[in-house]
Amino acid sequence: MEFARVRPEAPSQGLVEFRGRVWRCALGKGGVRADKAEGDGATPLGLLPLRRVLYRADRGPAPACGVPVEPIGREDGWCDDPADAAYNTRIRLPHSARHEELWRQDAVYDIIGVLGWNDQPVVRGRGSAIFLHLARPAYAPTEGCIALEPGDLRALLAAGCLGFEVLPG
């Protein structure tokens, strides 16, 4: 399994290295942490396998990559409520517990790489919705995800990246 390396350069900025190429990325506003917890805004330290890729088919073609790819719809969400039985899983909306909507007005979730964090098994409160997604303007910090520009994200996926090794700063 080929993982890209993520090296923090600043608390919420980093570089992704894969097969001799380097891309700029945004990281969590809480920096990189080994003791990731729900709501801390940190990107988890360690290995994050790419489980699958979700995308908005109305905003572009499916990305080329080595993991399963599927379109999202308006009713797709992700539960981030540690008290809910569906914590850190994809859900159908409406959902009574706290959650994120995957179908967003901005472009951030037009491509979503679901990263393997706190999913085998899920531990309540250890963090949820850790994704690979599109960067906001000026690489603004994420809530704990890894974010790249659209062309860079597509290139990284097409190059065969199957996950990330997030290194300490």
Active-site residue identified among 65, 79, 133, 161: 133
Residue of 25, 65, 79, 145 with catalytic role: 145
99 assigned to active site = no
d(CA 80, CA 67): 24
- Is residue 145 part of the annotated active site? The answer reads yes
- Please give the Cα distance from 86 to 165 (Å, whole number): 26
CB 139 within 8 Å of CB 24: yes
Residues taking part in catalysis: 133, 145
